[in-house]
Amino acid sequence: MANCRICGKRLPLFYRDTVCRECRAKLQLELADITKYVLTNKDITNEQIDKLKNQDRTDIIKLYNSLFQNFSSDKEVDAQEIATLRKLQNGLFLSDAEVKFDERLKPYIYVQAIRNNTLPEVELKNAQGIVLKKDEKVHFVDGAILKEIKSVSLGYGGGSQGVSIRIASGVHYRVGGTRGHIMREDKLVETSRGVFIITNQRIMLNPTSIKSKSLNIPLSKIFSYSCYENGLELYKEGHEKGYFLEFLNKSSVEIVGMLLGYLTKTN
């Protein structure tokens, strides 16, 4: 037989909860009180975080989700709300994956940073061989796939088999045969994949394989760019064909668009 993980009381046989009924009722009341406080004050105290450590992890994640949905109901998450959610996440050791940080909160962090003219600085990891220049700061890092427009052969078309002429027993000669013309089509073809980086001076793609293509474009050389649901299309001065970058995280397109819009105007 197990004991209640909070008060130590012996639990009934075949009891499925990890806490007794009395402690469960107290936990539910505490959770409701904390939720009300956070929604009202847009803050959470260290004492409340300590109390939440007694809650089931699933209930903690539900609390985070509920707070985020409430904070973002007006399509905005302000600096105070961001700080509260980050304090809750860090204090209870919730992973970015558990709270869907990259997808949900990260874009709002960049929105607030751009409004305050103070872009987030990101630690550069898993990017071997990248040497930053003087006064260069990293503002964004994510995995990406580079695709470029390539002319792909589709085979031959318009050919003719010609005419077969018998010149002896069992011997034929074919005349007029042709394979026709080569048919080609422009397609987006993957040319590299690796770590995509935006700094205050340039954008880069650091490939995961030494055989893959790298990308290094100064911000001043970006001629134009367009953001799509599935990636970023970018053109460099003096380069006729564009680059298409597909990111591992869906929210990255939105963040990259905001950063390029800000950095290309300030550089």
What average pLDDT does range 221-247 have in this prediction? 90
pLDDT class of 262 with cuts at 50, 70, 90: very high
What's the pLDDT at 165? 53
Kindly report the number of other CB atoms within 10 A of residue 83's CB atom: 14
pLDDT class of 143 with cuts at 50, 70, 90: very high
3-state secondary structure of 37: helix
d(CA 21, CA 174): 92
What average pLDDT does range 185-208 have in this prediction? 89
What's the pLDDT at 62? 96
What's the pLDDT at 150? 78
Opening angle at CA 40, ends 34 and 42, nearest 5: 85
pLDDT of 183 higher than 80: no
- pLDDT, one tens digit per residue, over 51-78 is 999 999 999 999 999 999 999 999 999 9
Domains and CATH numbers, the chain: 21-115 (no CATH), 138-153+187-266 (2.30.29.30)
d(CA 166, CA 168): 6
Helices in the chain by DSSP H: which ranges? 21-41, 46-52, 57-71, 79-91, 96-99, 101-104, 106-115, 252-266
What's the pLDDT at 182? 59
